[in-house]
């Protein structure tokens, strides 16, 4: 169902930590002008964990209105509170999102049975396509291929963003079911696509949307040589984006590019100057080359 480069778009803030909707609109336009295949607001990169539900709703609504049907909008609506996640997911459907991205419940660490119960409840009551989000490095819980395959039988659960850092995880999922898989790790987009993933929910696309989209397009066209070239040219940036906790580096880079203010909400803080200095040369080279 979902393919190509779907940007996990940052949420720009003003100096007073309010949402900067003018900058947000420009970021969305930048993505659409450069071939991004989908917009993902209110994910981890979008700092949803620091927002009120009213703020999340306003961002989701704004993104849908700005995109105006040109590409799919996959709204981040996850929570470790099932009823809260359901409410956000139902809202996303009401305002016209194409799908909802729901992170595995964090901190309370549900068992496989609990994971299945959580996602099934939301899928059945929301009526919007659901993209699971498996990211054990953030949640403390890994969804197994067997559990994912079981959930793929539920009407409405159609996709998974896989951020386990494992190509074999994707292999095991696809060998068990036909759920749509997208990479949750920019560095593994091409390897995961080689075993059946259809694209990526990308952090790097915030900075270089055209190359990330081109990597996916070239692979789909069967031009593996071009896809490999882009993969290697993006590798230094993919590393630089995670030298500190995401989205610190990507926001620092976008601020360096003049696109947003380098403001994060606590407990996140801007990237340390010495850390940015260590990656600035790499970042400038990749951005200038446009791969």
Active site residues: 133, 161
For residue 157, what are the CA distances in angstroms to 107, 128, 173? 23, 9, 14
Q: Is the Cβ–Cβ distance between 220 and 239 less than 8 Å?
A: no
The two structure tokens encoding residue 242: 């995670």
Q: Roughly how many angstroms between the first and final C-alpha of the chain, as a whole number?
A: 27
Judge whether 162 and 171 are in contact, CB under 8 Å: no
Q: 20-24 — which CB contacts under 8 Å span 24+ positions? A: 20/260, 20/261, 21/62, 23/259, 23/260, 23/261, 24/59, 24/62, 24/63, 24/66
């Amino acid at each position: 169902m979902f393919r190509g480069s779907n940007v996990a778009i940052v949420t720009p803030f003003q100096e007073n930590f309010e949402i900067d909707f003018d900058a947000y609109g420009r970021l969305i336009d930048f993505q659409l002008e450069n071939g991004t295949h989908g917009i993902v607001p209110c994910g981890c990169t979008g700092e949803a964990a620091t927002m009120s539900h009213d703020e999340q709703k306003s961002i989701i609504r704004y993104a849908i209105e700005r995109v105006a049907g040109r590409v799919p909008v996959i709204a981040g609506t996850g929570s470790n509170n099932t009823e809260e996640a359901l409410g956000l997911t139902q809202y996303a459907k009401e305002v016209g999102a194409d799908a909802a991205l729901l992170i595995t419940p964090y901190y309370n660490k549900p068992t496989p049975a609990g994971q299945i119960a959580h996602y099934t409840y939301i899928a059945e009551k929301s009526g919007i396509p659901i993209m699971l989000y498996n990211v054990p490095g953030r949640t403390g819980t890994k969804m197994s291929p067997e559990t994912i395959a079981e959930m793929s039988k539920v009407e409405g659960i159609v996709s998974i963003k896989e951020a386990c850092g494992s190509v074999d995880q994707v292999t095991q999922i696809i060998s068990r079911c036909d759920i749509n898989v997208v990479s949750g790790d920019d560095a593994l987009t091409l390897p995961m696509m080689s075993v059946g993933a259809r694209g990526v929910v990308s952090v790097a696309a915030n900075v270089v949307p055209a190359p990330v989209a081109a990597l996916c397009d070239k692979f789909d066209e069967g031009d593996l040589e071009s896809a490999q070239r882009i993969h290697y040219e993006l590798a230094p940036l993919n590393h630089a984006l995670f030298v500190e906790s995401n989205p610190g580096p990507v926001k620092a880079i976008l601020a360096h590019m003049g696109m947003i203010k380098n403001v994060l909400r606590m407990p996140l803080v801007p990237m340390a100057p010495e850390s940015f200095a260590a990656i600035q040369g790499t970042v400038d080279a990749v951005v200038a080359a446009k791969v």
